[in-house]
Structures are given as C-alpha cells and as structure tokens.
A and B are shown apart, each in its own frame.
Chain A
Amino acid sequence: DIQMTQSPSTLSASVGDRVTITCRASQNINSWLAWYQQKPGKAPQLLIYKASSLESGVPSRFSGSGSGTEFTLTISSLQPGDFATYYCQQYKFYLTFGPGTKVDIK
C-alpha cells in the first residue's frame, strides 16, 4: 500500500499570506497526485490533479507542483474562503488520502 503524509497538520495564516502545504508518498507515484479542499460539513472539492493541473473553475491562486514522492500545494494569496482542510490523494495504485492540513486564521 502507498502511504501519504502531509505537513504541517495545522497551519495558522492571515489573509494575503502565501501558504505552502507538503505531501509525501511512501513510494514513487509519478504525477498521480490530487489536492482537495474541504470545509466543515461539506464534501471535498477537487483543486488540482496530475500534481499541477488546475481543475476547471478553481482560482489561479491555487497551484500544485512536484513529482515522484514529494508534492506541494501553494496558495499565493490566502483569501477568507480558503480557510479549510486540504487533503492530498494518490491515485497511482488504488487511492489513498493524506491525513489533511487544516488552515486556520492566525
């Protein structure tokens, strides 16, 4: 099984901050990595797939990078609606989610 880790587990930031979340896979997943945003009581929403492809309708302040085992999600300028939990997901071998990173207000 492929295990996913994320860091940090919680991140405190302010509106306008540049935010970076890291996701690591236990083995090479090439670029088969996605990022989701989840707000309390809501279903997750797809942000990024194939490590760096922006899903339709997602603001361009979200970007993804990486390949192999290390990936990052960057929010270039944090907006009020971006305070949420972010999950990475590998889909090279079945599917595994990372444990999540909660972005809260500093």
Chain B
Amino acid sequence: HVQLVESGGGVVQPGRSLRLSCAASGFTFSSYGMHWVRQAPGKGLEWVAVLSSDGSNKYYADSVKGRFTISRDNSKNTLYLQMNSLRAEDTAVYYCAKVLEQRLAIDVFDIWGQGIMVTVSS
C-alpha cells in the first residue's frame, strides 16, 4: 500500500524554525521526485518545493526561497522540509506528494500525504 505520512507540525513563534518529515512506504522512494505543497486555512493550494529522486536538483517557490530547505534520505525513505525564519503567512497545512512518473522531478502528483498543520503565531 503506497503511503506518505507527514509529521513534525505544530505551533511555532514567528522567526523560529520547524522541520517537517514525510515517511514513504509501498513504493521505491529513491526512484521518484518528491514535493511539498501547502494550503493556508480556507485557501487554495500553493506549491512549495521539489526535490529530484537522487537529491541533485531542488527548486522552491519564491515565497519560501532562502528560508526553506527540502532534502531527502533515500536510505530512510523520508523527505524533509526545514523551515526557518517562519512568518505568520506560512501558516498552512503542509502536504508531501509523490510524482507520477519515475525519474521526473516536475510532474503531477499521484500520491499525497494526509497533511500536517503548521501554525506560526506568537
């Protein structure tokens, strides 16, 4: 059963850091590009970051560039999102997502995690 499970969310003060994890199972994690997508309360979907299957290529949305870092550990089947200098506008449900085609980084998402809430508030 293909599954993605996020963890690490919570309430954090502005300017602080948080690291999200996404544990993958049921597929060959090292063969797929992985993404983070977020959704602010009551709002639409916003793409955040992508990391290629081998970790060599990564891209970020302008809204998080320089503050967030995407990484992966293929030996642990886990994707990460290190979030620094958090702002109130980063408050959202964060989803990790797997791309449809092997070896592609930019592609559609066929599997999503359940989402994890991050609240940035003093």
Contacts and interface: CB of A to CB of B under 8 A. Distances in A.
A95 B44 contact: no
Interface stretch (A10-18, A41-49, A74-82): A41-49
- Give the residue among B47, B109, B114 with the most A Cβ atoms within 10 A: B109
Interface in B26-43: 35
Interface in A88-102: 89, 91, 94-100
Contacts of B62: 1
Given A43-B114, A43-B115, A46-B100, A97 B108 contact: no
Interface residues of A, number: 20
A34 interface: yes
A95 B114 CA distance: 20
B107 interface: yes
A97 B45 contact: yes
Interface string B81-122: 000000000000001000010000011111011110000000
A87 interface: yes
Contact of B47 (A49, A55, A97, A100): A97
B100 A94 contact: no
B112 A43 contact: yes
Interface bracket on B: 20 to 34
A99 B45 CA distance: 8
Contacts of B115: 43
Contacts of A49: 100, 108
25 contacts: A1-B62, A36-B109, A43-B112, A43-B114, A43-B115, A45-B112, A46-B100, A46-B108, A46-B109, A46-B110, A49-B108, A87-B44, A87-B45, A89-B45, A91-B108, A94-B50, A94-B61, A94-B106, A95-B35, A95-B106, A97-B44, A97-B45, A98-B44, A99-B44, A100-B44
Interface of A: 1, 34, 36, 38, 43-46, 49, 55, 87, 89, 91, 94-100
